[in-house]
Amino acid sequence: MVELVLFVVFAAAALFGAVTMVWARNPVYSAMGLMLSMFSVAVFYVSNGAHFIAAVQVIIYAGAVMTLFLFVIMLIGVDKAETRTENLPLQRPAALGLIALFGAGVVVAGRSAWVTGRTVSPGSPIDGSIEEVGGELFNNWLLPFEITALLLIIAAAGAIALAFFRDDEEGDA
Amino acid sequence: MVFLSLSFWREAGGAMNVNYLSVAPELILTVAVVLLLMIDVQWKPGYRWWGIAAALGFAGAIAASVMQWVGHRGEDAAEYFRGMIATDGFSAFAGILIFPIAAMALMTAWPLVRSLGRRGAEFVVLVMIAAAGAHLMAAASNLVMLFIALEVFSISLYVLAGFTRARADADEAALKYFLLGALASAIFLYGIALVFAATGTTSITGIATFLGNELLFRPGILLAGIALLVVGLGFKVSAAPFHVWAPDVYQGAPGGVTGFLAASAKIAGFAAAARVLTVALDARIEDWAPAIGVIAAVSIVVGTLLAIAQTDLKRMLAYSSVAHAGFILTALVGGAAGVADMWFYVATYAVQVVAAFGVAAVVSGPQQGPAPLADYAGLSTRSPGLALALGLMMLAMGGIPLTAGFVGKAAVFSAALDADYLWLVVLALVAAVAGLFFYLRVVVLMYMQPAEGSGSVPVPLGARIVLVVAAVVTVLAGVVPWPLLRWLGEALPG
């Protein structure tokens, strides 16, 4: 019962945050809406036993990433209100039509019982502790974990290459 | 070899089976990348050192792939790292193909690297990492591993596409490629999640076992997952209707990069598609084969029709690449039986497209910008060698006999015929004849029109080597294709 109440409250909060993020005219409100959405999702992680992921969600997404967003917004300037004129005339009707189509798809999908694959045996409790996550990460998922190091090299090299570009720099070194 | 295949820390779940030979190409390239970056920061030895480091890295990676090929050709896949990596003839052949292609593309892009100043080191590094990611895509035997490899490959290409930011069209190309590519990656990831929901595993062999043993009465989630996976991979190989990024990106990116982008995306994308579709989802071939057939047909028609209308060589090659994606998909409607034919087409097309964009890069100067067709009028009198190379590549892409393109088309059509897709083959044949129009137009332009400018185009040594190698490969594979076809029969995913 507690779980149901928690779910309803925070699902509503997550949806409200998501809608605010898209709808708000002031970018700071958008950022706050995103933060609310991320916090609510963190609560879902806790209720599913994934405490470590929940902590990471709060610290990194709701904390560090949001600070970065706010920083960028402040640098660009808060007072720049967004204009809502569309350059593509059919975009809004098309979007509404696609939303209706998507909603119909969700309804159809929700009404029928989809047969899915293996189910977790209900007896085993879910343990989202750091030990459990670390054990998985460095045993089963060792190689993908190591390959993400390549992504970091790409990020560093790419950022240098794109950001250090200057017009006068072109020419033989 | 024994000392390399350590298997340490056994526990309840079985051995880790860490095998460094299975990822040797990636290891060698990564070591070369790190050395290049660190030595460049410390001593600033300049572009000659970049070339040496890249050459050593690619040579090592090719050698490692050849070793894998010798050890694993024609055998069932050996899985390492808890089923993350499969070493088999398929992944080894992908390596033998990708690394030389990347090296060739780097050679055609070399004047650009030199003109970039200090940023050239990052350019070389990104090409090497992209090649490593492309090979990982072919070798991944887990969908999560496949996704990470796809990101390693794609993100390096996003940066490479925008390297010449002085040109606005390069900026546009990079941004478009990044935004649409990120969307395609998200779709692919959602597909992985749905397939996981339906089968309970992300392992490619695990999915195959599950689908082979269980009968799903209401496979809605699985089908949705398959559809999203196909869309994600279709974007990477620029199959219509997921091709809209291709023309702007191909035109805006520097010529040497475009050749690499076109060739490696086809190799890696089709390798991943072949492994996912014919191994993991083999039991579901009745569901995905018609979809692949329709995408192939749409790609062939859209690519051919739009290529006719182009006035820029790179843009024309982009639409022709859409059509070629369709031809290659034609082989996959046959399932596992068509993989060898797919490989033949992919391998020969990759060589042709690198050479064609190499010519475009040379003709459009060191910045390697747009390539309006007018620049090619009378090229045969100005630079007979370049005209000959580009003409040969155009004939090969058009599928003229005695070139590799003809054998490739024959191979994929026979694969589709074996799978009873007569309508697709008829459509593809008609489109191939229509496609001759725009390939031959380039040849006519080069050989039968008066030259506008005078003076020959200087061809750098690297581009010269690439063009000669590509021409030899294209003619050899067209005249005596049997050895290659026989080898490819041993390059199947297991």
Model confidence pLDDT, tens digit, residues A34-46 = 999 999 999 998 8
Q: Which of 177-206 (B) contact A at CB < 8 A? A: 197-201
**Three-state secondary structure call for residue B244:** coil
pLDDT for res A116: 62
CB neighbour list of residue B64: distance below 8 Å, 6 or more residues apart: B21, B24, B25, B28, B95
**Of residues B120, B154, B108, the one with CA closest to residue A165:** B120
Tokens of B245: 């990024």
CB A50 within 8 A of CB A130: no
Using an 8 Å CB-CB cutoff, list chain B residues near A109.
220
Residue with tokens 């690439």: B466
B212 part of contact set with chain A, CB < 8 Å: no
pLDDT for res A170: 46
Band of residue B9 on the pLDDT scale cut at 50, 70, 90: very low
Q: What is the mean pLDDT of chain B?
A: 89
Q: Which of 317-376 (B) contact A at CB < 8 A? A: none
Residue with tokens 């295949």: B5
Q: What is the spatial distance between Cα B298 and Cα B243, in angstroms, rounded to a whole number?
A: 11
Using an 8 Å CB-CB cutoff, list chain B residues near A171.
115, 117
CB B171 within 8 A of CB B162: yes
- Which ipTM score applies to this complex? 0.86
Q: What is the spatial distance between Cα B295 and Cα B44, in angstroms, rounded to a whole number?
A: 49
pLDDT for res A120: 57
B290 part of contact set with chain A, CB < 8 Å: no
Q: What are phi and psi of B79, to 5 degrees?
A: -100, 140
**Of residues B196, B202, B195, B89, the one with CA closest to residue B139:** B89
Q: How far is B369 from chain A (nearest CA, A)?
A: 15
Tokens of B15: 């051995």
A137 part of contact set with chain B, CB < 8 Å: no
- B156/A170 Cβ within 8 A: no
Tokens of B260: 């690499």
- B125/A162 Cβ within 8 A: no
User: Which element (helix H / strand E) includes B363?
Assistant: helix B339-363
- A114/B126 Cβ within 8 A: no
Q: What is the spatial distance between Cα B173 and Cα B245, in angstroms, rounded to a whole number?
A: 8
Cα(first)–Cα(last) distance of chain A, in Å? 69
Q: How far is A160 from chain B (nearest CA, A)?
A: 8
Task: Select from B47, B49, B159, B222 the residue whose CB has the most chain A CBs within 10 Å, as the one to mutate to test that interface.
Answer: B159
Q: Give the DSSP letter of residue B312.
A: B
pLDDT for res A142: 92
Average pLDDT over residues B101-119: 89
Q: What are phi and psi of B339, to 5 degrees?
A: -65, -40
B251 part of contact set with chain A, CB < 8 Å: no
Q: How many CA atoms lie within 13 A of A158 on its CB side?
A: 24
CB B152 within 8 A of CB B264: no
- B219/A142 Cβ within 8 A: no
**Of residues B179, B362, B197, B208, the one with CA closest to residue B279:** B208
The percentage of chain B sitting over the pLDDT mark of 70, rounded to a whole number, equals 96
CATH assignment, A1-82: 1.20.120.1200
Average pLDDT over residues B218-241: 90
pLDDT in tens, A98-148: 999 988 988 887 776 665 666 655 555 667 778 888 888 888 899 999 999
Using an 8 Å CB-CB cutoff, list chain B residues near A148.
148
B129 part of contact set with chain A, CB < 8 Å: yes
Average pLDDT over residues B346-358: 94
Q: Which of A109, A117, A151 sits opposite B200 (nearest CB)?
A: A117
Residue with tokens 């409200």: A16
pLDDT in tens, B463-494: 999 999 999 999 999 999 988 888 888 888 87
Cα(first)–Cα(last) distance of chain B, in Å? 22
Using an 8 Å CB-CB cutoff, list chain B residues near A107.
none
CB neighbour list of residue A64: distance below 8 Å, 6 or more residues apart: none
Q: How far is B122 from chain A (nearest CA, A)?
A: 6
pLDDT in tens, B365-391: 776 777 888 888 888 888 888 999 999
Q: Which of 156-175 (B) contact A at CB < 8 A? A: 156, 158-159, 162-163, 165-166
Report CA-CA distances (Å) from B250 to B146, B170, B263, B301: 25, 9, 12, 19
pLDDT for res B370: 78
Strand partners, A128: none
Q: Where are the domains of chain A?
A: 1-82, 130-167
Global confidence as pTM:
0.90
Q: How many CB atoms lie within 10 A of CB A164?
A: 12
Using an 8 Å CB-CB cutoff, list chain A residues near B219.
115
pLDDT for res A84: 65
Q: Of B194-203, B269-278, B306-315, which has the strongest mean pLDDT?
A: B269-278
Q: Of A81-85, B58-62, B107-111, which has the strongest mean pLDDT?
A: B58-62
- B81/A142 Cβ within 8 A: yes
pLDDT for res B333: 92
